[in-house]
Structure 1
Amino acid sequence: MGKQLFSFIVCRVAPYFASIRPQITSLRPGFAEVQIKKRRRVTNHINTVHAIAMCNMAELAGGMMTDVSVPIKSRWIPVGMTVEYLKKTKSDLTAHAQGEHINWETEGDKIVPVEVRDQNGEMVFRAEITMNVRH
């Protein structure tokens, strides 16, 4: 119940993310993993996972990873996102935000890469989220 409860609390703090019913499965400085199930509410007219659902999970993964990576009392906000829709998908998805190589000790814009993969491990979506960090 720990991961489910934590994910629920995150969605209470940032309600918009509840639309995709995410599960935060891993979170540590420099890394986050978020999963969503393919269900009707996240599909489009051709029964594939909607592109914006993947944007939402990427922003959640990138934001959670940023939040636990920046120094205490730092503030951050996403200021931009570039995305690539690589493949249609009809399965559950997993997003990985990677920030191990980002210097979180300095202020300014940080580019956070996020990859979304399907159940077969194939990358279906890629994002670069610009996070503005202030100390």
Structure 2
Amino acid sequence: MSQQSSTLITWQKFSRRWGGQWLFSRVVSHSAPYFATIRPRITALEPGLCEVRMKKRRKVQNHIGTVHAIAICNLAELAAGVMTDATIPPSHRWIPKGMTVEYLKKAATDLVGRAELDLVPAFDEARDLAVPVSVRDSNGEEVVRATITMWVTPRK
């Protein structure tokens, strides 16, 4: 990739400083306000990888005291979207096209969502990009597995 995305450049500047991960996460949440509901904390970002943490708190719990499904889906979509934005060249854009989700066990603790591509593809023509996301609890156990399909196209 000849050029880095503005998202990745911003992350590299912010993340080196004290409070930078928090500030970067707030900027992302401000640009897509529905993500603010989970109070995400982006902790790792590079081409092909994004890791996002969220705390279990009352506002993201369901009636049985575990993290509710939509909050977990928000976490997965955020990780996949930020990873995609940091991975594709500036000459391209993306939009989520679909999501499949497997709920593997109750999410009873803080969570970490990790979007990671085994191989970063070449981006030339329009294409689907399947982004796998693993959501794990504080014990390292996978609670949700998702695949988010991104539609990646050259900018006009």
Q: TM-score, normalised by structure 1?
A: 0.97
Matches within 5 A, 1:1-135: 1-106=19-124, 107-135=126-154
Q: Secondary structure at the match of 2:119?
A: coil
Deviation at 1:100, TM superposition (A): 3.9
Cα-to-partner distance string for 1:17-45 (whole Å, 9 max, x where unaligned):
00000000111100000000000000000
Given the superposition, is the C-alpha separation of residues 60 and 104 from structure 1 closer, same or farther in structure 2, using an over 3 Å criterion?
A: farther
Letter in 2 for 1:64: V
Alignment partners' CA distance in 1, 2:30 and 2:131: 24
CA apart distance, 1:105: 1.7
CA distance in 2, matches of 1:51, 1:12: 22
Task: Verify the 8 A CA contact 1:3 1:23 in the aligned structure 2.
Answer: yes
- Code of the aligned partner of 1:16: Y
Coordinate RMSD, CA, aligned: 0.9
Contact 1:69 1:104 in 2 (8 A): no
Give the unaligned 5+ runs of structure 2.
1-18
Task: Return the letter of the residue paired with 1:128.
Answer: T
Distance 1:118 1:95, change over 3 A: same
Of all paired residues, the percent bearing the same amino acid is 58
- Following TM superposition, by how much is the alpha carbon of 1:73 offset from its aligned partner in structure 2, in angstroms? 2.2
Provide Cα deviations, 1:81-125, integer angstroms capped at 9, x if missing partner.
000000002100000001241414243101000000000000000
Distance 1:48 1:104, change over 3 A: farther
Q: Which has the larger radius of gyration?
A: 2
Aligned counterparts of 1:89 and 1:99: Cα–Cα separation in 2: 24
Secondary structure at 1:134 match in 2: strand
Q: Which amino acid is the alignment partner of residue 96 of structure 1? A: R
